[in-house]
Structures are given as C-alpha cells and as structure tokens.
Structure 1
Amino acid sequence: MASMLRNSVVNTTAGVLSMFMGFICSIIVARTLGVEGTGIVAYALWFMTVATVVSDYGMPQATLRFIARDVSGDHLHSALLQTLLSRFVVTTAIMAVGIGTYALWLASGNDARGSSVWLATIVLFLSYAYSTISIGAAQGLGQFDRAAKMTLTGCVLQFFSVLGGALLFGPVGAILGHATRHLPQALDLRRYLGQTAERVREIPADVKIYARNNWISGSVFALFGARIELALIGFFFSIAQVGYYSIGLTMSGMIAQLAVFILAFVVPQFGAMHDNADDTAFASAFQETIRWLGIVIAPIAIGGASIASELIPVVFGEDFAPAVWPAVILLAFAIAQALASVISRAILAKNRSTDELRMMLVWCGATTVSLLITVPSYGQLGAAWIRGGASILLLLMLSIYCHRVLQLRLPVLALMKSTLAAAICGATAAYMLTIVSGLIGLLIAVSAAAPVYFLALFLLRAVTWKEIRPLFDGLKTRMRSSKAD
C-alpha cells in the first residue's frame, strides 16, 4: 500500500501539472484565435484521441497490463513490447496515410487551410499515439518518476510551442504546439526496446483477448461515447458553437486527465494482486483508491463549477460567455466519470475485459441515441446535460457489476463525506465571488475555499492526521535529499 500511495502522489503531481498546462494552453488558444479557432483546435484534439484509439488495437493497454510479466532482472527491455510495436507501427501508419490522403484531396480543391490543419493533425496524432504506448511501458514497469519527468518536459515545450505557434501560424501552429506535449514521452519509447530486434514468437492468448476487447470498447467509446457531441454540434449548428462547448469539455476533460495520472499504477498493481489471488488486498486497495480519488477530484470538479461563471469570461474573454452553463454542468458531473475509471480498471485487472466491453457497448449506444435526440433541439446545453447523465449512468452500471459479480463495494460513506466537503468548499468560493469579482475575486475565492475544504475533510472525518502524516514525512525526506544533492 505504501508503494501504491507513493506512486499515486508522483502521478498526481504530474497530473496536476499537465492539467494546469492544458488549461493555460486552452486560454492561449482562446485569446489568440477566438471562438472559431478554438473550435478548430478542439476538433483536432478530439480527432487525435479517436485516431489513436481506432488504430492502436489495444496495444498500449496490453503493454501497461502485461509488460511487467515479460521483463525480468534489472533491464527494461521487453520482447513483448517489440512484437506489439511492430504491429503498432503498421496500424498507425495506415491511419496517418488515410488522413494525409484526405488532406491532399482538400488541397486539390483549393482548400489550403483545411489541408494544412489535417496535415498538422497527423503530427499531433502520431506524437500522441506513440506516447500512449511509451507511457504504458513506463508505468507498467513502475517507472513513474521517469514518466513524470517526461510529462514535465512536455508541458514546458507545450506552453512555448502553443503560444508561438498560435501567434505565428494560427490554428495549425497551435495544433503542432500541442503535439510537442507528447513528444518527449514518445521518443522515450526506445528505452524499453533494447538493442536487438528480439520479439516473442507468439503473443499469448490472454494478451490478445485483453488487447482486442480494449480496442473494441475504446474505439466505440471514442467514436460514440466521448466528445461525439462536438461533431453533432458542428453539424447542426456552427464551428463557433463547437468553440463554446469545447471550453467546458476541455475543463472537465482536464479532470479526467488528472484521474488518469492518479490511477496510472492501478492496472499493473491490481493485476499483480489478481494474479497472486490476493482478493483481500485487491478489495482493500480498490476501496482506498476510490476514496482518495474522490478526495482529490471532488473539490476540483465542484469548486470549478462554482466559479465557472466568473472564471470563463475573465480568463477566456467575454466572447466565451455562452460557454458558462455547459461548463458548469460538465464540471459538476466530472467526478462521476473519474470514479467510473477506477471501477473500469478494476474490471480489466480481473481479466473481465469482455464484460466491460459489453457494458461499454450498451452505454455508448444509449449515450449516442440520447445525444442525437437532444442536440438538434437544445444544442450545447442539451449535450452537456446528456453527457452529465451519461457519466452517472456509467458509474451506476459499473458499480452494480462490481458489487454483484466481483464482490467489490464502493466506499459510499467516504465518497459522500468528500463530496459534502467539496460542496462546502464550492459554496465558500461562490460566496467570496459575490463580494469581490474579477481576477482578484477568483484568487481570493480559491485561497479561501482551499483551507475550508481541508478543514471540512477533518471535521467530517473523511481523512485523519494519521493518514496524512506519512505524506508530509515523505515530502520532507525528498526535500532534504534534494538539498543534499
């Protein structure tokens, strides 16, 4: 449990940094490119994830889950990864060629702008795709510090590249700037490949099934369950409406991204517990992971929703005022999506990927039909409510499955306490904004709400000093060792 806690702290730190830099870059894009430019970049980022999931055939997820089983000794080279990567190169190359062909077709029709956007999206897609399999290898082998360093490097590059790219080349430059965020991790992949062309002769059957099921569920989710409303809003309304909605989607997406970083250790360590038939440790780790994720995510989601009405116009500009209410809804429900990701990883660690696939198909179908009915009439506000309701539905589906099939129970009382503490935190921030508005008001609101949240956690006994003290001791030790170096 100590190693899990430490790994979670390392990844949480990296996740907070990534979330913060993503937020800053979204501000840069909004301020420099306006509503329409923001919509174009949002489309590119959405397509980046879709193209990656559709073309990766579940290989990054299989790497994360099984690479530790393939590596022995002090070296980090994996024959399984070599084999998976050789196939990964083919599938991603086919996707890149397909996008490039479409870009050339646009160029032949004198749409130079559209063609350049799609060519830039190829770079973004490839950078992101190879970073996913690289980070799967790093985290699967417990190289969390290494992955965090790559995140730090990528975030620094992203800031300057997005700023310079947007100013000099518009949406195309911003898209290429976002590609630099993933480049350090992608290039670090060679660290796990070794000096030879060693490969496993045959991928084990359980790895194939795991990769296939992850690929199908991930592809369906990416195409129909995640951000499909961007395509629908763009089709029925305009690229400007996409720009508005993308602000809330970006903010809630950053919370989901933070959860991914926090939970990076879950699949390999949960998988090891399952492989060792240690059901007691698995159940305990499952509950503690959900509990601590709720403590971290709840104030960001609920607090963010409480200040969004002031935050968005001040930070992104008055032109983005129509983005406020969709953002409030999406942020308020983001905690459900984050908690569902823990349960999903527990199901996968139990090698129940087929069951997870079936549930994802049902959920994606219900979400897509609801969006098709709602978006044409109610636009981005309707899309936000459907997305929020879909997050609750997914959490309920996965929770019921875990309770009935895996005998894993959610720490409901602990989640209620952290949510209540977050609500008190959010109410404090909202009240402070009624006294002082603008940027100064936002700074005061956040500064006042943070200590209120920690106090509420202790008063509600959501956390105890006994639990927190090892973290402070560990931080002191690391600070002392850094000074000594």
Structure 2
Amino acid sequence: MAGTLVRKSLINAIAGVAVTVAGFASSILVARLLGVEGSGVVGFAVWAITMSVMVADLGIPGSLTRFLPELRARSTLDADGLSAALLRPYVLVSACVAGGFFAYAAWLAVAHPAGDAWQIGPGSFRSSPLFWLLCGLACLSQSLASFVNSYLRGVQDFAALARLALLSAGVQIVATGVGVVTFGAGGAIASSVIGSAVVMVAIVRLPRAGSAVSPALRDRVRRYALESWVSHLVTAFLWSRMEVIFLERSFGSHAVGLFTVSLTLSNLATQGPLLLTGALLSHLSEHSGADHAERRQNLYPASVRLLALIVFPLCLGTAGIMPLLLPLLFGPAFDSAITAATILVGSASLVTIATIAYSYLFAMERTRFILGSGLVGAILSIVAGLTVVPAAGLLGAAGSRAVIQTLVSATIVCYAWRALGCVLPAADLARMFLAALLCAVAARMVATVSSGVPGLVLAIVMGALVYAAALRVLKPLPTADLHRMREALRSLPVPLRSAALASLRVIAPA
C-alpha cells in the first residue's frame, strides 16, 4: 500500500514541481523587473485572486478528490454522475464571483473615465479598472483549472495532471516575461490568467452525464463540501497572505513586496516535499472503510517520516543560506526581507508536518475540527494584524504568522492522534530535526564567510554533507521505511533511479 502511494506521489510531484518552478520563476522576473513596489502590487493581486478562488470553491474540488477514489474503488456507477452534478453549480458560482470583479471594474471605469485610471501602479492600482478586470479573469480561469486538477486527482490520472502542469508552467513563464516587459504589473497578473487557462480548457473533456447520484451519497457530499468549504475559508485567514492587507494598510506596497518575497522562498522550500503528499488524500479515500483502519494508522508514521526527511533540511538549510540566496535571486533591493524570510522558512519546517494529519482528517470526514481550529487561528491572525503588524511591521507579520501557524498545526496533529490513533513518530522526527539543524548551522557558517554564487554553492554542499553524515549516525528511518522507499524508487526512470538509490545508500547503507 505504501509503495503504491509513493509511486503515485512521485508522479504527482512532477506536476507540482512544474507549477512551483513556474511560480517561483515568475516571482523572480517580477521582482527583478518591477522592483519592491511593483512586487507589492502583484502580491496584493495574488492575495485577492487566491481569496476569490476560495470563495468560489464551495468545497467542490475537494469533494472530487475525496469521493471519486472511493466510488471507483467500489466499482460504482456514481463517479461520472457525481462529477457532472458538481460541475454545473461550480461553473455558475465561479462565474458569479468573477462577475463581481467585472462589475467593480465597470463601476470604476464609469466613475474615473480618465485614461490614466487604467494604469496599474503602486499608488493607483486600487482604483484601476484594468487591475480588477484582470483579477476577475484570473479568478475564473484558476477556479475552473482547480476543478480539472481535482478531477484528475480523484480519478488518479496523475500522468494527465503532470502533462497539463508542465504545459501550463512553460506558458506561464514565457507569458510573465513578455507581459512584465511589455505591460508591467498588469502583464504579470495577466500571465496567471494565461497559465491557468491552459488547464482550464480541459474542462470540456470531463464527464457531462452519468448515473444519478444516490440520496445517501448526495447528503455525504453536500455535508463534506459545505464543512470543508467553510473550513478552507476560515483557515484562509491563517494560511493565505492575509498579512498583506495589514501591511499595505500601514506601510504600503513596499512592505507587501518584501513580505511577498519572504513567502515565496518559504513556499519554495516546502512545496517540493508537500508534492509527495499530493496523492495521499485520494489514496486514503480509496481505503476509507473501517476494515482499512489498521493499514491507515501504519501508513501515518511512514508518511510523516518521509515528509520530514525532505522538508526539514530544505527549510532549515534554506534558512541557513538566506543571506546569500535572497539577494542573488531577487536583488539587493530586497535585503530587508532576509530576517523575515528566515523566520518563515524556519517555522515552515514544523508547520508542514501537519499536512499529513490534515489529509487524514479530510479523508475521514473530520472537517468540523479543522473548521474550529481554523476559526481560532483566523481570530488570532486578525488580532495580530491589528496589533503586532502595525507596531512591528514586516518582522511582526512574519513572527506572528509563524507562531500562530505552529500552534494550530500542533493542535491538528494532537487531534489526529487522539481521534484517529495516528501516532506521531516523535523520536524519529527529533533525530531528523537535529540532523537538519546541524545542516543549517554548517550552511550559515559558510554563508557568513563567503559571497556570491560560489559561496552559495559551497554552503549548500556543506549543508548537504553534514545532513547526510548526521542521518547516517542518528539512523532515524526504520528498516521497513527504507525498504518501501527502495521499492518505490525502482519505478523511476533509470538516470533518476540510480541517483536516488545512491543517495539513499549514503544516508542508510543496506
């Protein structure tokens, strides 16, 4: 079971890596070509688009990922019928939410008919009809693309998901470069529309008809969708870029630009490992019956260890090289973001571990606790935004985000243990964290006495060597996990397989 999951996750990771690379490359282009202020404008747009997509979500994409694997595993005829039944209201609601942006843009165009009102600049983007028009288009295209991606995950067609992601990533990078050079911030926002449109058009190939959804299934889906939707909306205040509202209000686009860059590096460090869990929800849903409870509980510590093995050194190692990495990527104008980025990336090493527990709770339809914990986190985030952020600025935003997210994540992990019997392998995680901490210290020592690309490369190599040596001594991976990893890695293409197996032998000799 675990080997199958890892193989699915590796294929899914290809899709996610493409999306991550496209987003990161686009962020660098925006930062380099538009500077801190321009990055702040684009960062505000990203926040507005993300929140609007969540509002239009209705819990439907998550329901596809949750229920389609279960239906297909039981060989029922409801899978296509469920997809078709959910598609119609989803398209309607997405169009209505996007229509709100379009209506606001039309009102601004009438209220401010002057030509310069269409310019998207640090001091004028809020009153620009073009800014809100592009946000509406991005909301619509990303919402429909989300449905396509969730359907493909639900039917576990990760190969098609990867193909679409690779195509979308290539288009977005090219569109960002051309758009920013030609149209500035407006071109950067438009590139997100173009990139997601590549995936969105695949919606015409999804099922339009199927067997009628049974009343019992309809009730389960409706409850799950509603609870997960509200949970996502509430937790959006905790996990999205909500801090940009308070930073923009108190300190303007410059602070938003610095915070956006900090989050970009934090997301880069965690996104790769998180992609390995992309297939986990659908895999758990496929085995959601009571007769699979023991197998799910056995899978939990293995999944957590696999994620920690990668995310701990990436997060803490990235924090160690931050003084060299951030200026090299985004330019010296963003040096003020180094401390904030270090805080966010470092704390993400612990927060990311809770994603496994989240997947288990969603698979077992324990959405109410997620809603409750998210509500508490959202209230704390708002309080921090009204108090800490205005007083401490960028560092206040980064610090409060790190503390609140860590507390909520710890609560989720504890609930998964008490309610579902998902025991956290604390001793193994502690050894991995120690190894990653030694990696970060070694990398920071090199980064302190060196500079430029050679210094960065040397710091990364030193950190990797120290991490491998620490793992070899501390031995945090059980024999069963190593066996599963070797079996899964043998399904990779030959060049990747050889490198991956060689790396595994270094940290854990057979």
| Pairing 1:121–2:166 present | no
Question: 2:287 is paired with a residue of what secondary structure?
Answer: helix
1:193 is paired with a residue whose SS is coil
Equivalence for 1:475: 492
Calculate the TM-score normalised by the size of structure 1.
0.92
Q: CA offset at residue 46 of structure 1?
A: 1.4
Q: Is the deviation greater in 93-102 or in 181-190?
A: 181-190
| Contact 1:77/1:191 (8 A) holds in 2 | no
Change in 2 beyond 3 A, CA 1:319/1:11:
same
* Distance in 2 separating the partners of 1:181 and 1:416: 40
- The answer for the alignment partner of 1:268 in structure 2 is 282
Q: Identify which of 401, 405, 413 aligns with 1:399.
A: 413
Q: How far apart in 2 are the matches of 1:333 and 1:85?
A: 38
Select 1:112's aligned residue among 113, 118, 123. 118
Partners of 1:70 and 1:409 lie apart in 2 by: 28
Separation in structure 2 between the aligned mates of residue 479 and residue 258 of structure 1, nearest angstrom: 16
1:284 pairs with 298, 302, 305, which one?
298
After superposition, the Cα gap between the structure-2 partners of 1:357 and 1:479, relative to the gap in structure 1 and judged at 3 Å, is: closer
- Once the two structures are overlaid, the 10-residue window that deviates more, 51-60 or 367-376, is 367-376
Cα distance in 2, alignment partners of residues 38 and 410 from structure 1: 39
Structure 2 residue aligned with 1:418: 432
Distance 1:184 1:216, change over 3 A: same
**Cα–Cα, structure 1 residues 212 and 129, in superposed 2: closer, same or farther, change >3 Å?**
same
Specify the alignment match of 1:356 in structure 2. Answer: 370
Match of 1:483 in 2: none
8 Å CA contact 1:76, 1:191 repeated in 2:
no
Conserved in 2, the CA contact under 8 Å of 1:367 and 1:390? yes
Per-residue CA deviations over 1:317-367 (Å, capped at 9, x if unaligned) read 111111111111000011233112211111111111122212211222122
Tell me if structure 1 keeps the 8 A contact 2:12–2:276. Answer: yes
Decide whether the 8 Å contact of 2:239 with 2:405 is kept in 1. Answer: no
Q: Distance in 1 between matches of 2:96 and 2:76?
A: 35
Mapping 1:10-159, distance limit 5 Å: 10-71=11-72, 78-108=80-110, 109=112, 110=114, 111-113=117-119, 114-159=128-173
Identity within the alignment, %: 28
**What is the rounded CA distance, in whole Å, between the counterparts of 1:347 and 1:70 in structure 2?**
19
Shift of 1:410: 0.9
Sort the Cα spacing of 1:70 and 1:470 in 2 relative to 1 into closer, same or farther, 3 A.
closer
How far apart are the structure 2 equivalents of 1:210 and 1:371?
31
Decide whether the 8 Å contact of 2:234 with 2:371 is kept in 1. no
Gaps of 5+ in 1: 481-485
For residues 421 and 290 of structure 2, the distance between their equivalents in structure 1, rounded to whole angstroms, comes to: 17
Q: Give 1:403 deviation, angstroms.
A: 2.1
Specify whether residues 256 and 473 from structure 1 end up closer, same or farther in structure 2 by C-alpha distance, changes over 3 A only: closer
- In the alignment, the residues of structure 2 paired with residue 157 and residue 404 of structure 1 have an alpha-carbon distance, to the nearest angstrom, of 46
Q: Deviations over 1:138-171 (max 9, x none)?
A: 1111111221222111111111111111111111
CA contact (8 A) 1:8 1:262 kept: yes
Q: Of 246, 255, 270, which residue of structure 2 is paired with 1:241?
A: 255
Offset of 1:225 from its aligned partner? 4.9
Contact 2:70/2:288, CA 8 A, preserved across alignment: no
Q: 1:445 aligns with which of 449, 456, 459?
A: 459
Supply the distance in 2 between the matched residues of 1:466 and 1:260 (Cα, whole angstroms): 21
1:184 CA drift (Å): 3.0
Paired with 2:235 and 2:144, the residues of 1 have a C-alpha distance of 20
Give the letter for the 2:409 counterpart: L
CA positional deviation for 1:93 = 0.8
Q: Give aligned pairs, total.
A: 479
Structure 1 segment 154-193 matched on structure 2, within 5 A: 154-193=168-207
Q: Which moved more, 1:23-32 or 1:355-364?
A: 355-364
- Range that drifts further, 109-118 or 230-239: 109-118
Separation in 2, partners of 1:130, 1:285: 32
Opposite residue 175 of structure 1, the aligned amino acid is I
Which residue number corresponds to residue 408 of structure 1?
A: 422
CA distance in structure 2 between the partners assigned to 1:410 and 1:56 by the alignment: 31
